[in-house]
């Protein structure tokens, strides 16, 4: 079995497939649009599940600061910008809303884009909830938000400011999928709803079944710890029995749930022995079924081709998690430390590298440095000729004398 198979197993989306031949829509169902079906199903769900309001778990005045900053993140458009912040919000337990846009003078070209916590502001300026509102106004005037600056030339969105302090507590993990901004229904799931509608099934029952299928973070952990995780470990053990020098390691939490794992095969070990002077570790990638972080260990051969040294999947980006992952990698390679290790900018990762790879030089990826420069020194970067000189110093000066000259 190739390594790509395990990547496939952990990138299966939660969308529900629909067999188009299983049902022929009658005339009334044909006249009903997907939007109508979705609205009806959501309304029925809200009536039947009023006792599962995630907002009721939020305590006002219990300050919470998001542990991870998104500053420096770069995305290509407005949709990706919102998805970045909304996904981050789900992991931390709060909802989001789309804030204002600021345009360049005299144009409709976006200059800045804001996204805010769902508890930002008040529906009424003085904070008093009018009796005419059917729903309780749970906004608390929270200041948590993100600001994206849109590059004038390229149009990419650069996250320049991330306010992380909330004036309220977070929603528990097992209720986060009920938060309004995290209620997503794909086209496949809408088709699934249509199929069951024409067969006479109540929409509320179908939606409840779909919600149970997707689940919140706690349900995903249990699912990962059940059949899928057992199958994964069984696959690791089978490969280790059949292949020379196959190595794997995994970590469980207090409830014996699988939270982190790592593996490499014999070819990866041989490549590391030959080309392990440079080690690159990146945690940009996310899997969309379990929201685990994929952290590959990569190098480069004499033909400047990327080669894989190992693959890890972790649940979070805390220092203790990186410490476990790097120790697993080091053990699998017989204790050989790389001369240089390159990563993105992460204080947790930096701390773990200093402890696990004390003999290695830690260097930051030049791409991340360039992107952070756009955010942090954008005034200087706008000066004529500075960017060209900055890029040259960053990428092509090999000695102290060259660096000081430029």
Q: What is the pLDDT of residue 77?
A: 92
Q: What is the pLDDT of residue 52?
A: 57
8 A C-beta contact, residue 291 and residue 214: no
Take residue 194 and report the two structure tokens written for it: 């249509």
3-state secondary structure of 62: strand
Q: How confident is the model at residue 227 (pLDDT cuts 50, 70, 90)?
A: low
> Distance of CA 230 to CAs 139, 224, 287, Å?
43, 8, 18
3-state secondary structure of 279: strand
> What percentage of residues in the chain have a pLDDT greater than 70?
74
Q: What is the arithmetic mean of pLDDT over 115-119?
A: 93
Across all residues in the chain, what is the average pLDDT? 78
Those residues with Cβ within 8 angstroms of residue 160's Cβ, 6 or more apart along the chain or in another chain: 71, 147, 148, 149, 375, 378
| 98-103, long-range: CB < 8 A, 24+ apart | 99/145
Place of tokens 């080309």: 275
3-state secondary structure of 173: helix
Place of tokens 């649009």: 33
> Distance of CA 52 to CAs 48, 57, 105, 171, 179, Å?
9, 10, 46, 12, 10
3-state secondary structure of 47: helix
Q: How confident is the model at residue 82 (pLDDT cuts 50, 70, 90)?
A: very high
pLDDT tens for 356-369 read: 999 999 988 777 77
Take residue 235 and report the two structure tokens written for it: 């696959």
> Distance of CA 13 to CAs 9, 116, 117, 159, 186, Å?
10, 27, 26, 27, 11
pLDDT tens for 250-287 read: 998 887 788 899 999 999 999 999 999 999 998 877 66
Cα–Cα distance for residue pair 166/276, rounded to 1 Å: 44
Taken in order of first residue, the domains within the chain and their CATH numbers are: 20-218 (no CATH), 228-364 (3.30.420), 369-405 (no CATH)
Cα–Cα distance for residue pair 164/145, rounded to 1 Å: 7
8 A C-beta contact, residue 293 and residue 316: yes
Q: What share of the chain is helix, strand, coil (3-state, %, to 5)?
A: 45, 20, 35
> Distance of CA 327 to CAs 119, 213, 337, Å?
41, 36, 11
pTM of the model: 0.45
Q: How many CB atoms lie within 10 A of CB 211?
A: 17
Q: Please tell me the number of Cα atoms within 13 Å of 102 on its side-chain side.
A: 10
3-state secondary structure of 365: coil
């Amino acid at each position: 079995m190739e390594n790509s198979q395990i990547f496939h197993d952990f990138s299966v989306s939660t969308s529900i497939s629909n067999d188009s031949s299983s049902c022929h829509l009658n005339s009334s169902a044909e006249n009903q649009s997907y939007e109508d079906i979705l609205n009806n199903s959501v309304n029925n769900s809200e009536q039947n599940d009023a006792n599962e309001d995630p907002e009721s778990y939020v305590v006002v005045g219990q300050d919470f600061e998001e542990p991870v900053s998104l500053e420096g993140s770069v995305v290509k458009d407005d949709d990706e910008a919102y998805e970045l912040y909304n996904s981050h919000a789900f992991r931390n337990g709060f909802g989001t809303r789309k804030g204002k846009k600021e345009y360049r003078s005299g144009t409709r070209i976006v200059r800045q884009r804001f996204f805010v916590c769902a508890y930002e502001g008040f529906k009424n300026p003085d904070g008093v909830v009018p009796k005419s509102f059917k729903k309780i106004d749970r906004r608390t005037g929270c200041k948590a938000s993100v600001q994206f600056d849109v590059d004038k030339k390229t149009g990419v969105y650069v996250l320049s400011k991330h306010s992380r302090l909330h004036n309220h507590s977070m929603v528990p993990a097992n209720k986060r999928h009920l938060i309004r901004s995290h209620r997503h229904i794909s086209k496949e799931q809408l088709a699934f709803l249509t199929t069951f509608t024409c067969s006479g099934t109540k929409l509320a029952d179908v939606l409840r079944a779909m919600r149970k299928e997707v689940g919140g973070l706690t349900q995903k952990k249990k699912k990962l710890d059940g059949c899928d995780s057992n199958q994964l470990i069984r696959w690791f053990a089978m490969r280790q029995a059949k292949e020379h020098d196959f190595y794997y390691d995994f970590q469980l939490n207090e409830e014996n749930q699988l939270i982190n794992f790592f593996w490499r095969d014999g070819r990866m070990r041989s490549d590391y022995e030959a080309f392990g002077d440079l080690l690159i570790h990146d945690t940009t990638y996310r899997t969309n079924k379990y929201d685990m972080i994929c952290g590959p260990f990569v190098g480069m051969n004499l033909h400047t081709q990327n080669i894989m040294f190992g693959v890890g999947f972790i649940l979070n980006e805390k220092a203790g998690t990186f410490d476990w992952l790097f120790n697993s990698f080091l053990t699998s390679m017989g204790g050989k430390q790389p001369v240089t290790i390159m990563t993105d900018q992460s204080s947790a990762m930096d701390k773990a590298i200093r402890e696990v790879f004390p003999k290695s030089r830690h260097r930051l990826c030049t791409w991340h440095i360039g992107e952070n420069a756009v955010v942090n020194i954008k005034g200087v970067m706008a000066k004529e000729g500075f960017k060209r000189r900055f890029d040259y110093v960053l990428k092509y000066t090999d000695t102290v004398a060259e660096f000081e000259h430029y």
